[in-house]
Chains A and B, each alone.
Chain A
């Protein structure tokens, strides 16, 4: 069984740029959730995708957007990057929208200069 994979592992950008982060869900999982985790904080929910549609969103501005593909992989796009966007971005997949556990990838460390 293939686990959740994220790419890239590390990324350095400058303010105002745009970034795309990618996530491949675990086999058999059709739901992907994205989280932002700042140093010393718990993960903050960005949004969730279920069968290619957004299924809930946290308190993040519209410049955070995403999509899910037919194979259930997903992308997180962030436009107009700000210094505060520097964080670990985590993708988690789960079996469906039910209360099943979420399994995390290794994350993408994004640094904004």
Chain B
């Protein structure tokens, strides 16, 4: 069974700190990796995507991918209260290109 696993949290960090979110996946053939942010009652919003090993930075967000260890992480620098949300990790694997989702990590940034 292909799976994507995330720590459900809640992860609580003070405003201005670095929030670190982790995701592991079981399918070694996975090709692309996505982080989505979802506010309560809203639809997921794409934050980052990464295809190659290493780091990818976009503003305050950095995605890190390690295919050998089968994990992908999201770092949020200078965390703001508006970053408080559930962060979903999604992995695209297999020939039918479907996304396999983790259950999400709840992040709370405290002022």
A-binding residues in B (CB < 8 A)? 31-32, 34, 36, 42-46, 49, 51, 88, 92, 96-104
Beta-carbon contacts under 8 Å, A78-110 to B: 88, 90, 97-99, 101-107
CB atoms of B44 and A99 under 8 A apart: no
A49-64 interface mask toward B, CB cutoff 8 Å, 1 = contact, 0 = none? 0000001111000000
CB atoms of A97 and B43 under 8 A apart: no
Total chain A interface residues with beta-carbon distance under 8 A: 25
List A contacts of B51 (CB < 8 A): 99
Task: Report the number of A-B residue pairs with Cβ-Cβ less than 8 Å.
Answer: 56
A sample of 10 inter-chain contacts (CB < 8 A) reads A31-B97, A42-B88, A42-B101, A43-B44, A56-B97, A99-B31, A101-B34, A101-B46, A104-B45, A104-B46
Which interface residue of B43, B88, B96, B101 has the most chain A CB atoms within 10 A? B43
CB atoms of B45 and A48 under 8 A apart: no
CB atoms of B103 and A107 under 8 A apart: no
CB atoms of B98 and A90 under 8 A apart: no
A13-43 interface mask toward B, CB cutoff 8 Å, 1 = contact, 0 = none? 0000000000000000001010000001111
